[in-house]
Amino acid sequence: MKKYFYINGEVALHENFIFWFATLFPIFIALYLAYPLAAGLEFSSTVEGYSNFTSRFRLPLWVASGSLIFGVIVSRFHSSEQKAITIRQSISQNHFSNYLNHRDHFQKYLKPISDNFGVEVDPFKIYGIIFSTSTASNANVVLSVGVFDFFRDKFETEFWVKMKFSAPDFTKQEVNIYFPRFAKSIGINAENIELNDFGELKELLIKIRKIYRRAMEYGITKNSPDKTLEFEESGFSELIGELSLWSNENGFNKHWS
């Protein structure tokens, strides 16, 4: 029943069942009330006949007038619903436009930074990490919390755990299989990455840390102050320090064969 008495602003007014119900139902009721009153009525075009007609059919005529009133009411509701749909579509379109603009500007912002460090990046992948709550339906320009947690999780599962499993017998081939996988998961194009020793690995991690710092600066607002950025970046530095210590203890800092 609900679907029949629902005003759908996405279709024309005359395609709504409730419009026809509101306009025709009073007429049917009026005809029902008028039927017994019509018995024995003599129609006359005189003033007296007209007065007699309106007097006898006063109630049915009053009920029938509800057709116009209820029709106008439904029409107004239909118009309001159409305006509401237009507003919702406009808001959705604005969110989508803001999302695309913010993401495209981020791409333009990040490209010269990555070029400066000589590291190819996937700006849209990094954007999805740094602004994880920003979507096409709800553009959110606030920096995500837990960027480093995502980074560390990928680093450990895609790379470091594999190296720990191989300790202390590392090979250059292993490093250059697992590290590119990690790099790709955080938005670093790793097709041309080839690491010969720990020095090159550490240098690349530092570059990635700096790129991420600059990328996160793009999201700094009054709602995510600088201390948020400093907290996130300290995690990157701590991770690199942990890797350096572990490398010394396990001979990972030697030249890989």
Ranges 11-15, 159-163, 205-209: which has the least confidence: 11-15
Rounded CA-CA distance 69/66 in Å is 5
Question: Which pLDDT band holds residue 205 (cuts at 50, 70, 90)?
Answer: very high
Determine the 3-state secondary structure of 224 from DSSP: strand
Can you say whether residue 70 is alpha, beta or left, with left for phi > 0 and alpha for psi between -120 and 50 degrees?
Answer: alpha
Is residue 182 scored above 90 in pLDDT? yes
Q: What pLDDT score does 68 carry?
A: 87
Is residue 172 scored above 70 in pLDDT? yes
Strand partners, 221: 224
Encoded tokens for 84? 């509401």
Q: What is the mean pLDDT of the chain?
A: 83
pLDDT top residue among 66 and 182: 182
Q: What pLDDT score does 67 carry?
A: 86
The answer for residues whose C-beta is within 8 angstroms of residue 67's C-beta and 6 or more apart is: 22, 23, 24, 25, 26, 27
Determine the 3-state secondary structure of 42 from DSSP: coil
In the numeric block, the tokens 């600066």 are attached to 217
